[in-house]
Structure 1
Amino acid sequence: MKIKRITTNGFRGLPDKTFDFTADRTGVPGDLVIITGPPGSGKTSLLEAIIASKEDIGPYGLKRSTGSVVRSGEAAAKVRIDWQLSADERMRTGAGSTDLSSESILSSSIFSSIDHEPALVGLLGEYDAAPSVSKVEYFHASRRIPRGGVPSMSTIGVPGTERFARLTRDDAKYALLLRYVVEVNLGLHDVSGQRGMERLEEAFASLCRTRTLAGIERTPQALVPRFADGRGGIVGPDELSDSEKQALIFAVTFLRAGIQGSLVLIDTPELHLPEPDVGAFVTALGRLGADNQLVVATGSPGVIARNPDAVVIPLG
């Protein structure tokens, strides 16, 4: 699934206008959409508008009150999105067209008075880690690998409950990341004749130049992933730099969540990265999964410079 246009009215932090996500106004949604502008211009708010509308149509969890997204002085906020479905999504959902539109009225009331297109309800509400299932993934601006176990009950490794944290700012969605690396080393994620280890090594190498995967080590407490530098030094996950941890978060999440043909929302891709590396990092993210649409909120000029074919949405 991809977004062609989004129109907001009364949404906190955003002007009342239409944001066009299509390339050169040809009607084709951009594979990479860059939302740019100074601090406080509404970059994160535009990602939040997409999430609020998606969750109003087909939530991954229980529907929640959306009063907090309404601009002060307004009774409600309205978000209209023009979606484009793939041929496979249209066939799976029985949609009458590849182009569908939704309109969400967001307020302190939990229940919307709008009946949404059933095909969109089914598509946006479905979550499964299988790559054949398109989904919406959100990398929030303060993301980190949690230490000391799972920080909340949002993600406990039980299939079907993982979806509850996907569109939140809860780092619990990364709590099982290191366990996945261990499982990959043990051969538990080999699929279709391809070793999961090879896929993870390739994904991590595309995002990180300073470390490579170096197997696992048994400690008195557990099996722990190890990482090597160019001089043969071996470290554990806690000893990775912040930028290396970012690479691990993205590489593992794309594989573990089966992100293919999906909508990927990324806030502040430059987190912990030196400015000269940010543009190439975003380019590499675009190659991690096939037929995804990346919507990136960033203040980095290097992202635009390195990705000239991207659709750019300037704010502020």
Structure 2
Amino acid sequence: MDEKNWLAGEFEANRAHLGAVAYRMLGSRAEADDAVQEAWLRLGRSDADAIDNIGGWLTTVVARICLDMLRSRKTRREEPFDLPVHERVADTSKTVDPEREVAFADSVGMALLVILETLAPAERVAFVLHDMFDLPFDDIAPIIHRSSAATRQLASRARRRVQGKTDVPEADAARKKQIVQAFLAASRLGDIRALLSILDPQVVFTPDTAAMRYNPSVRELRGADAVAETFRGRAQAAQPAMIDGEFGLVVVVGGHLRVVLLLTFDGEKIAGIDAVANPDYLGNLKYDLL
């Protein structure tokens, strides 16, 4: 069997799984089809000999494509949500197995799809991949450009929404903006007490490898005391921004984006801060200053 036929066989073996992943992330049959088809095209352009696990590689690629589509949807403020009628996900053929389609639609559930639509893109990807498809947080983290700890927090927050456990109400957009601005002001002024009032007691600060190279003194920190001490008197060049539809801070030096701080909220507290300086990520990043 030549390589092309072998790749086609591997892709077909994973097609149903990829379609399920894409549909749960996107809630749209048409977009799920597009994501799976794009994954096939990328597989064809890849060095197959360098891929150890075709199924895992395809799942990662589909997840990244879906994340980009979700972020683009947020930017356009569109909601291409589809009602779950009985059509085969990610299968452009005309042959349909009615029993399989009914089972699939029932397994997704209309109510769940509606709730998933309320999640931020990174939350949705983290929740779907971990809670529905059992991917480890260490594998999901690179897809959404977050640390494993932050990915776990995103999935946990999404899970609380899905389960209706909202004992601690999530801050609305206006309140989050105030929290970000208060954090920035407290950091610049070196006001430890103000920083502690904003940070969750179990807050986690996680820099990526590029951020640690950019500032060798930066390292992973856990707990409000340690994080507050690190940010005391800093963030002088940081600016509040909406980063791919989420609140955070950006550091621009000489007209070039150097670092972004992605914030995770738990109620009205900052529960996670991820410093990302990966050039590949920053090069494709869309943000708007607040």
Q: Which has the higher contact order (CA 8 A, sep 6+)?
A: 1
TM-score calculated relative to the size of structure 2: 0.32
TM-score calculated relative to the size of structure 1: 0.30
Comparing both structures, which one devotes a greater share of its residues to strand?
1
Larger Rg: 2
